Chains A and B, each alone.
Chain A
Amino acid sequence: MKFSVLCCDIFKDDIVLMSEKLENKPLQIESFKAESHLNPDKMRDVVCGKLSGFSKENDRILLIFGLCGNAALGLRSDDFELVIPRVHDCRGIFFGSSAAAMDFTRNNPRAFFASPGYISAGLLPSEELFKKTKSRYLSEYGKDSADILMEAFLGQFAAYDEVFYMQFHESENSKRACMECAKFMNWKFREICANNSLLSDALQMRIDSDRFFILPKGKTLKASYDEKIFNI
């Protein structure tokens, strides 16, 4: 079976590393920017654009992201089978299943989490991010507005009081960045063992219909809004 991967860039490094050990390697690993998740409609456009760029040699494209606020709704391909894990968002991939991710969020409602990929995508709050944001506000809106915008920007992080580092692949630099973030934000630093079975099984084509949804060629992806997440 010939396949390629289309993923959110927070998983790109993990996938590249895992793929090195595969016998049947993906023909291509393509990613899109994590920021696109901030606007699900835009993310859908980006994903559709990338899908049409894959070589027709592929039988399947593995999608490594989730429903992501409905961004995955309406996806289709006339050329390949699409495989997507039954997860709402990246948390399901980090925790190995959507149910495990929801359990974690329920038990740790004030936890921010970060994997090496999450950190290299620039999603971790840091002094640098704050400085960059402040200077954008200053140049676009002037001093008075910049101050209140900054207050609102910081307010987005007020919901958290701890950060969990998830070692999806080993990276001392990422761990250090996460510890620095905890110090800077005055959050508790914690570590959690990531469960990469969903991702690694996907790459090894161990695709079962309980954990993955297989979208046949020419069909359109829909959401079921229940524990199955996807249907057609």
Chain B
Amino acid sequence: MENEFDSLTEAVRKGQRDKAKEIASRLLESENPADILNAILTAMAQIGVRFKAGEVFVPEVLVAARAMNSVLEVLEPVLVKSGLQPKHCVVIGTVFGDLHDIGKNLVAMMLRGANFKVVDLGVNVSADKFLSAAREHNADIVALSALLTTTMPSMKNIVDVFKKSGIQAKIIVGGAPVTQDFADKIGANGYSKDAASAADLCKRLVA
């Protein structure tokens, strides 16, 4: 079985959607879904490291993310059946003026993997849209992504709008140009540098 987990990791890393789905379904017959989840998270972590090092480019990240998504489709019903229904909700989106969504999608997937209910508002999302979605879904956390330094200021605007609204949801920020320092400066409740640590951050914030 050890090998099957490795093959799953490899299939996701190489973006082989169908193969990954097939291995995951087979594994599900006898293995713990949490271990399967782990195998795909490992793949994403590996691809993340190689992307940072400039060894692979965006298309490689994209196809791995899609393969991960298709495995999650198989896993989700099983996770829900096994009583692991999400208790907490995260509203996520890329801020106004910004169309980058690869990283945001990865964060959303990791959060789903970590058993959060995720409401994804997509890209180019205004403060108002974040606000009404947070109200509608009674969000515990609102996650903002920005990849452009030109759109980072709108994160501050969103934090301010939420503070004024009195909504209790915690706001976290991320995206390549965002730093902990910036998050502190604008009064966000959290920052993390990648998708895996974003899931840990959210768990800490709702604990």
Kindly state the separation between the CA atoms of A144 and B63 in the bound complex, as whole angstroms: 12
Cβ contact within 8 Å between A42 and B58:
no
- Segment 144-185 of B: residues with Cβ below 8 Å from A: 147-150, 152-153, 176-177, 179, 182
Contact flag A69-B59 (CB < 8 Å), given A145-B14, A145-B15, A145-B16: no
**A155, B62: Cβ atoms under 8 Å?**
yes
A229 to B148, CA, bound (A): 12
Contact between A149 and B177 (Cβ–Cβ < 8 Å)? no
Contacts of A156 in B (CB 8 A): 58-59
- Asked if A149 contacts B149 (CB within 8 A), the reply is no
Q: Is B99 an interface residue (CB 8 A)?
A: yes
Q: Which of A18-26, A33-41, A47-55 contacts B (4 or more CB under 8 A)?
A: A33-41
| Complex-state Cα separation, A102 to B96, whole angstroms | 13
Cβ of A210 < 8 Å from any Cβ of B? no
Q: For B17, what are the chain A residues with a Cβ–Cβ distance below 8 Å?
A: 148
Say which residue of A39, A141, A153, A226 sits within 8 Å of B14 (CB atoms): A141
* Residue of B57, B58, B147, B150 with highest tally of chain A CB at under 10 A: B150
With A69-B149, A88-B149, A225-B153 already in contact, the answer to whether A149 and B54 are too (CB < 8 A) is no
Q: Are A153 and B59 in contact (CB under 8 A)?
A: yes
- Chain B residues in 8 Å Cβ range of A159: 99
CB distance from A137 to the nearest CB of B (A): 8
Bin the interface of chain A by size: 20 to 34
In contact, A225 and B176 (Cβ under 8 angstroms): no
Tell me, in angstroms, the Cα distance from A159 to B124 when the chains sit together. Answer: 13
**Complex Cα gap A153–B97 (Å):** 23
Grouping DSSP codes into helix (H, G, I), strand (E, B) and loop, the B interface class, with mixed when no group exceeds half, is: loop
**Is the C-beta of B52 less than 8 angstroms from some C-beta in chain A?**
yes
Say yes or no: is A70 at the interface (Cβ < 8 Å to chain B): yes
Q: Which of B66, B153, B176 contacts A70 (CB 8 A)?
A: B176
Question: A67: CB under 8 A from chain B?
Answer: yes
Cβ proximity bits A95-131 to B, threshold 8 Å, 1 near / 0 not: 0001000100010010000000000000000000000
Q: A208 CA to B63 CA in the complex, in Å?
A: 46
Complex Cα gap A156–B60 (Å) = 12
- A141-B14, A148-B17, A159-B99 known; A67 vs B59 contact (CB < 8 Å): no
* Complexed CA–CA distance, A52 and B139 (Å): 50
Q: Nearest Cβ in chain B — how far from A70, in angstroms?
A: 5
B176 touches A69 (CB 8 A): yes
**In the complex with contacts A42-B54, A88-B149, A159-B99, A152-B59 CB distance below 8 A:** yes
Contacts of B177 on A, CB cut-off 8 Å? 40, 69-70
Distance of A226 Cα from B185 Cα, bound (Å): 13
Q: Which residues of B contact A148 (CB under 8 A)?
A: 15-17, 63, 66
Contact A149 B99 (CB under 8 A): no
- Asked if A144 and B59 sit within 8 Å, CB to CB, the answer is no
Q: Tell me if A223 is interfacial: C-beta within 8 Å of chain B.
A: yes
Complex Cα distance, B175 from A225, in Å, reads 14
Contact with A along B19-39 (1 / 0, CB 8 A): 000000000000000000000
List of A residues within 8 angstroms of B179 by Cβ: 70
Asked if B16 and A102 sit within 8 Å, CB to CB, the answer is: no
8 A Cβ contacts from A133-172 to B: 141, 144-145, 148-150, 152-153, 155-156, 159
CB distance from B112 to the nearest CB of A (A): 21
- A42: chain B residues at CB < 8 Å are 54
**CA distance in complex: A152, B66 (Å):** 10
A145 contacts B149, C-beta separation under 8 Å? no
Known: A98-B150, A148-B17. 9 other contacts (CB 8 A): A38-B57, A40-B176, A42-B54, A70-B149, A144-B16, A152-B66, A153-B59, A225-B149, A229-B149
For the complex of A and B, the 5 pairs showing the least CB-CB separation, nearest first, are A152-B59, A152-B62, A153-B59, A70-B177, A39-B54
